[in-house]
Amino acid sequence: MSGSIRRVVIVLGDQLDRSSSVFDGFEVTRDVVVMAEVAAASRQPLSAKARTVFFLSAMRHFASALRDEGVRVEYTDLSAAETGSLAEVLGRMVRGLGGEEVRVVEPGCWHLRHALAEALSRTAFYGFDEDRHFFCSRERFDRHCAGRKQLRMEFFYREMRREHGVLMAGKGPEGGEWNYDAENRASFGREGPGFLPRVMRFPADAVTVAVVREVEQFLPELPGSAAEFDFPVTRAEALVALEDFVTNRLADFGRWQDAMWVGEEVLYHARLSAAMNVKLLSPREVVARVERAYREGLAPLAATEGFIRQVLGWREYVRGVYWRHMPGYLEGNALEAKAPLPAFFWTGETDMACLRDAIGQTLRTGYAHHIQRLMVTGLYALLHGVNPREVHEWYLAVYVDAVEWVEIPNVIGMSQYADGGVMASKPYAATGKYLKRMSNACSGCRYDPEVEEGERACPFTRAYWEFLERNRERLAGNQRMAMQLRNLARRGVKGS
């Protein structure tokens, strides 16, 4: 490249999308891409080793693919030991380059959005480009909310299905129903899952190996491990992972969506969230591929609809909730939960078998499926009144797919009910008997989910009644809690 720079394009770690709006009209001869790895961004907020490796490896691969196209990429890596926050480092890099205009897609984190706007205020930056990755823009979500007293995902999801023509038969839903949950969500029972399809793994290549080494060198204090790292880190790998899911697991996705089995990490889940969240995959192509599999007879309607609801429904919905309610959303603590996060969340060392399995897997791999997050770790924190802010910091740190716009509503809203009912119509509170039904963990545990008192009392079952007692008044007006509160009254539990 010779002469002055026309456009400086900033690409953040979760914006690895060659078709994003900042590349519209991109000119290889006059434009420059800027990317940065900043150690401070892995320390605050905390990011575990596997998560950090995922982002940095995917970024390096993306930068390398751009360079192969002849694009000039200015890239600061960990070894540059840049001081300051990510926004400050990017601001410095951009100012050093000059350029007639600075372009960046809106970040997926409220705080980074504001920090970046501030850092770029003395450059030729005119505002954020829209994030075209999602089905539903922020403005469209606001229209959905207009005039509604209460938001419910189900109604939003139906609108999205109609609007985007997904899984429709004329004007109505395919098969006549919007929701096939009644056919989904079985447990494996005593006999267990039996044969499980092998999940496609992507062993670390030379780039990832170098990243792992540098993370150990420059950020040794980060929690967790990257020794087993095997997530897709390029678009080509992500497409292979999508095909692997559609071919081998989609057909049984719905049926076993809520089931757990000790030592089985993925079961019939997609393991695609990380690739989607850094935009190696677009939700449109994922939804279209899954719908095509159904139309070709590769998957039943219930599994297909169940999966599409997660991506077109929940994923878009939580993003809308995040942007509509931040920054105050993070301060929510509707149940006034104040206990500290137990230390075993960072080690997995506990004699509760369900938590040992879910947390151990999380720290080792950076992945746990939805029901492990909601009904094992999340449930424990909810029942034991752990401060939602600390719960949020843990989830944001440990999962490879964790980015604020999706993590915060799931933790603060769905799992901890700290938003007082914006996301979920009632707290997901249950006893250990739920875990006994959905998993085999209890059979290898020193506690008994049926026992409420004494040495063998299951900490979930015991805490469930304490939770209801503690929150009896706060939840009294919630019709969906009426039966649980009636059961509490019948037991005659005294105030705790």
Q: At a CB cut-off of 8 Å and minimum separation 6, what does 139 contact?
A: none
Distance CA 243, CA 271 (A): 12
d(CA 443, CA 448): 8
Name the binder of 427 from ligand SF4, ligand FAD, none, CB < 5-8 A by kind. none
Cβ closest to ligand FAD, residue 75 vs residue 231: 231
| Binding partner selected for residue 441 from ligand SF4, ligand FAD, none, CB under the kind-specific 5 to 8 Å limit | ligand SF4
Residue 20 interaction partner, one of ligand FAD, ligand SF4, none, beta carbon < 5-8 Å per kind: none
Strand partners, 34: 10, 74
378 binds ligand SF4 (CB under 6 A): no
Spatial CB neighbours of 27, under 8 Å, sequence gap ≥ 6? 6, 7
Say whether residue 276 binds ligand FAD (CB under 6 A): yes
Among residue numbers 50 through 109, which ones bind ligand FAD (CB under 6 A)?
A: none
d(CA 459, CA 389): 22
| Residue choice 241, 406, 422, 430 for contact with ligand FAD (CB under 6 A) | 406
CB of 173 to ligand FAD, least distance (A): 19
465 touching ligand SF4, by CB under 6 A: no
Minimum CB distance to ligand FAD smaller for 252 or for 401: 401
Residue 353 interaction partner, one of ligand FAD, ligand SF4, none, beta carbon < 5-8 Å per kind:
ligand SF4
Q: How far apart (Å, rounded) are the C-alpha atoms in residues 400 and 190?
A: 31
DSSP string, 82-139: --S-HHHHHHHHHHHH--SEEEEBPPSSHHHHHHHHHHTTTTTB--PBP-TTSSS-HH
Peptide bond into 327 cis (omega under 30): yes
Query: Quick one: which of 115, 302, 411, 475 contacts ligand FAD (CB under 6 A)?
Result: 411
Which residue blocks in 8-109 are alpha helix, DSSP H?
40-43, 49-68, 86-97
Enter the tokens of residue 212: 């792992």
Q: Residues binding ligand SF4: what is the number (CB under 6 A)?
A: 15
Question: Which positions from 359 through 388 interact with ligand FAD, judged by CB under 6 A?
Answer: 369-370, 373-374, 378
303 to 332, contacts with ligand FAD by CB under 6 A?
310-311, 314-315, 318
Under the binding rule (CB under 6 A), the answer on residue 432 touching ligand SF4 is: yes
Torsional sign, CA 396, 104, 285, 69: negative
Q: Which residues contact ligand FAD by CB under 6 A?
A: 269-273, 276-277, 310-311, 314-315, 318, 369-370, 373-374, 378, 395, 399, 401-402, 406-407, 410-411, 414-415
Q: Which residues contact ligand SF4 by CB under 6 A?
A: 352-354, 432, 435-436, 441-442, 445, 447-449, 458-460
